[in-house]
Amino acid sequence: MSSSAETNDAPRDVVVLAGGVGAARFLRGVVRAVDPSEVTVIVNTGDDRVFYGAHVSPDLDIVTYTLADRIDPQRGFGLKGDRFELVDRLASLGHDGWFRLGDADYANCVHRTLRLAEGIGLDVITDELRRDMDLGLRILPMSNDPCPTFIRLSDGRRLHFEEYLVREGAPTNVEATDLSAAMKAAPAPNVLEVIESAKTILVSPSNPIVSIGPILAVPGIREALDASRAPIVGVSPIIGGAPVKGPAETLLRAEGVEVSALGVAGFYRDWIDGFVFDEQDEKLMPAIEGLGLQAVALDTLMLSAEISENVARAALSVAGRIK
């Protein structure tokens, strides 16, 4: 029986909080360790923005394309083998060309835009794209409301996260991350219910500030996590004192969080029960356990699906140790 035929509100055992690339790498392992029909992913939509008239949801699409084995491996986002006639043509007509959206990727985003204009929720549209790619797990946006994340720089500018990251190349003069839109949003349908009925909750090794932060900022989600009886296990996106990729170092520092597995564990400690981090940071084990967390250290640089599966199994086994 194909799980994609299941309804969107059937209860699932494993809930995973997710951003983009780090989450997608981890989820590749989760769906090898657990039947995909048992998994619900709650994805950050703070990076969403309209480009060239199309509603782009970077993290939802990275997760969906990666699990469908259709991600462009060179760029880490977009569809492999995609063409760029649309953005090139728009650029030659004088439009900004900094957001390189491929043609087929653009079509998916136009689908999203047209359906939103019909009054259909982002959760339903996300499920349409998920089914189109034959994925068995359920993918939920954190919210159906617009929740743009802004980055405030020391020069007074306030940039949408994608402008900060892609157009400006993630400068380091960050003063703060602004999650005020997420703080006024409502959770998407089913988000609170799946957290409530989860048996295990996993936190992807995603950027704590701009990927996991917006999810927690949506009113009701943090309360649902606190109320849940499921063990909650985080995975460190920081290995050996640095992120694998992306602006986590700058953004953590701006919030006063130490750029280490211990820093992330401390940042999450109020709402997680367990933590998985890299064996390179094994020396941090006593300090992480000292935060009251069950923890395990192993190779978490997910360069293959096998390593991703090991990380997922480690997170599930830490969860199994928590009462």
Of residues 165 and 230, the one with the C-beta less far from ligand GDP: 165
Nearest-angstrom CA–CA distance, 37 and 24: 17
CB of 156 to ligand GDP, least distance (A): 25
Query: Considering only CA atoms, which of 312, 3, 34, 1 is closest in space to residue 127?
Result: 3
Site for ligand GDP in 38-77 (CB under 6 A): 59, 62
Q: Binding mask 228-247 vs ligand GDP (x if CB under 6 A, - otherwise)?
A: --------xx-x---xxxx-
CB of 206 to ligand GDP, least distance (A): 3
Contacts with 42 (C-beta within 8 Å, 6 or more apart), sequence order? 15, 16, 17, 18, 140, 141, 142, 191, 194, 195, 215, 221
CB of 60 to Ca ion, least distance (A): 10
CB of 10 to ligand GDP, least distance (A): 26
Helices (H), the chain: 21-33, 58-67, 85-92, 103-117, 122-132, 161-162, 191-197, 213-217, 221-227, 248-254, 261-268, 285-290, 305-321
Figure out which of the listed residues 211, 250, 294, 310 binds ligand GDP, where binding follows CB under 6 A.
Answer: 211
Of residues 26 and 106, the one with the C-beta less far from ligand GDP: 26
User: Under rule CB under 6 A, how many of the chain's residues touch ligand GDP?
Assistant: 24
CB of 19 to Ca ion, least distance (A): 5
Would you say 221 and 192 are in contact if contact means Cβ atoms under 8 Å apart?
yes
Contacts with 229 (C-beta within 8 Å, 6 or more apart), sequence order? none
CB of 143 to Ca ion, least distance (A): 15
Secondary structure (DSSP) of 75-94: TSSSBTT---HHHHHHHHTT
Nearest-angstrom CA–CA distance, 219 and 206: 20
- With CB under 5 to 8 Å by kind, the binding choice for 302 among Ca ion, ligand GDP, none is ligand GDP
Figure out which of the listed residues 14, 15, 17, 23 binds ligand GDP, where binding follows CB under 6 A.
Answer: 23
What's the half-sphere exposure (Cβ side, CA atoms, 13 Å) at 193?
Answer: 9
Nearest-angstrom CA–CA distance, 55 and 21: 19
Q: Binding mask 155-194 vs ligand GDP (x if CB under 6 A, - otherwise)?
A: ----------------------------------------
Does 265 participate in binding ligand GDP (rule CB under 6 A)?
no
Query: Considering only CA atoms, which of 50, 74, 57 is closest in space to residue 130?
Result: 57
Figure out which of the listed residues 38, 48, 59, 105 binds Ca ion, where binding follows CB under 5 A.
Answer: 59
* Residue ranges in contact with ligand GDP by CB under 6 A: 19-23, 25, 59, 62, 204-207, 211, 236-237, 239, 243-246, 248, 300-302
Given the rule CB under 5 A, which residues bind Ca ion? 19-20, 47, 59
